[in-house]
């Protein structure tokens, strides 16, 4: 092939093709130089950005942060005031000089949860102690209390002088033996009986609170239970009080007496079902059959006649008889 023919076939363009080539070349050049042009324009005419909203947002964030910090600080102050009950200048753990704990002699093996609260202990620490005792644990000496998880050293040092662990002695009038470490060659120090005996049918809440292991809630429950019954006819009845642990009852039983066992009685010939079922020992399942039997067979002539009511077993009769009368 001759050069002239090659040039004619491959290098010769029509007018439309030449225009197209020029347009393509122009676009390529435009694309190549466009970034530089835009950069130049941005440098000569900088855009003014409104930053006022940014400053307003930052101001709100700062205010919110300050408010949150104040809230957290107040929360920490409340926690400090609750948890740390006395001042220890040598300890960095205690943050407050306000002492909310009441100090009194106590036996850690028998003291109630409410009394632990009076001493200033936290709920979690009290629960740990209760769990320890419920699983058969026992405090033999004051130092054993240090093993309780959550009880801080400063708290133990505050309570230690008032820990008095009761031990059995040969004399019934000498109960609380000093639990402080002592020389084995020296005789144990003993103390006279701490608690005065009380009449369970006459004592008020203050008298019950004076007994070991009885707090204000338990004392109120005992008095309320006594009023609903109409009085106690036996010391053992006090042990039926809701929330009173048998271990606590056995501990205070030696300080209880019943000088006047008389109780308020219910006349089964006139009492209504509502009047009977209000008594803790006589529920609807007993009161209703008694009244139904009375309506069908007439008035009771003797108290033991209520045994003819199928709902009244010998055990129930023995329990409720002291509170019933036939008139």
The string of DSSP codes covering 155-210 is HHHHHGGGB------SSTTEEEE--S---TTSPPPEEE--S--EETTT--HHHHHT
**Distance separating alpha carbons of residues 33 and 298, to the nearest angstrom:** 121
- Does the pLDDT value for residue 227 go beyond 70? yes
Q: What is the pLDDT of residue 44?
A: 58
Sorted by where each begins, the domain ranges of the chain are: 113-192, 198-257, 266-325
CATH fold for the domain made of 266-325: DNA polymerase; domain 1 (1.10.150)
- The CA distance from 231 to 202, in Å, is 9
At residue 61, does pLDDT exceed 70?
A: no
Predicted local distance difference test score (pLDDT) of residue 88: 37
CATH architecture of 198-257: Orthogonal Bundle (1.10)
Query: In this predicted structure, what is the pLDDT of residue 241?
Result: 94
Residue 230: the pLDDT is: 94
Give the pLDDT band of residue 53 (cuts 50, 70, 90).
low
- Of the ranges 40-54, 87-101, 155-169, the best mean pLDDT one: 155-169
Per the listing, tokens 């045994």 go with: 307
Mean pLDDT of the chain: 78
How far, CA to CA in Å, does 182 sit from each of 141, 155, 192, 239?
11, 23, 19, 37
- Kindly report the backbone phi and psi dihedral angles of residue 175, in degrees, each rounded to the nearest multiple of 5, phi listed first: -110, -50
Mean pLDDT, to the nearest integer, of 231-255?
Answer: 93
- Model pTM score: 0.43
Give how far Cα 111 sits from Cα of 126, 135, 192, 246, 286, Å.
11, 16, 19, 13, 38
Q: How confident is the model at residue 196 (pLDDT cuts 50, 70, 90)?
A: confident
Tell me the residue length of the chain: 327
């Amino acid at each position: 092939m001759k050069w002239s023919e090659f040039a004619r076939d491959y290098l010769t363009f029509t007018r439309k093709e030449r225009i197209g080539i020029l347009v393509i070349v122009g676009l390529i050049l435009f694309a190549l130089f466009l970034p530089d042009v835009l950069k130049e324009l941005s440098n000569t005419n900088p855009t003014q950005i409104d930053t006022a909203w940014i400053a307003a947002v930052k101001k709100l964030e700062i205010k919110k942060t300050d408010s949150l910090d104040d809230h957290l600080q107040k929360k920490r102050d409340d926690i400090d005031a609750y948890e740390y009950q006395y001042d220890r200048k040598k300890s960095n753990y205690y943050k407050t000089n306000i002492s909310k704990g009441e100090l009194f002699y106590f036996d850690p093996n028998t003291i109630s949860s409410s009394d632990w609260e009076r001493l200033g202990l936290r709920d979690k620490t009290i629960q740990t102690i209760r769990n320890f005792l419920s699983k058969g644990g026992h405090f033999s000496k004051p130092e054993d209390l240090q093993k309780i998880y959550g009880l801080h050293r400063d708290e133990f040092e505050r309570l230690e002088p008032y820990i008095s662990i009761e031990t059995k002695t040969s004399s019934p009038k000498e109960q609380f033996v000093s639990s402080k470490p002592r020389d084995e060659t020296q005789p144990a120090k003993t103390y006279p009986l701490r608690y005065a005996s009380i009449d369970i049918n006459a004592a008020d809440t203050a008298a019950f609170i004076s007994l070991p292991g009885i707090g204000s809630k338990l004392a109120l429950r005992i008095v309320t239970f006594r009023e609903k019954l109409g009085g106690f006819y036996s010391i053992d009845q006090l042990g039926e009080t809701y929330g009173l642990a048998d271990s606590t009852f056995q501990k205070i039983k030696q300080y209880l007496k019943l000088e006047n066992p008389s109780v308020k009685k219910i006349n089964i010939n006139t009492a209504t079902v509502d009047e009977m079922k209000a008594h803790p020992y006589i529920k609807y399942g007993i009161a209703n059959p008694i009244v139904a039997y009375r309506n069908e067979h007439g008035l009771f002539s003797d108290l033991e006649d209520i045994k003819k009511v199928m709902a009244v077993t010998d055990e129930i009769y023995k329990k409720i008889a002291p509170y019933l009368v036939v008139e």
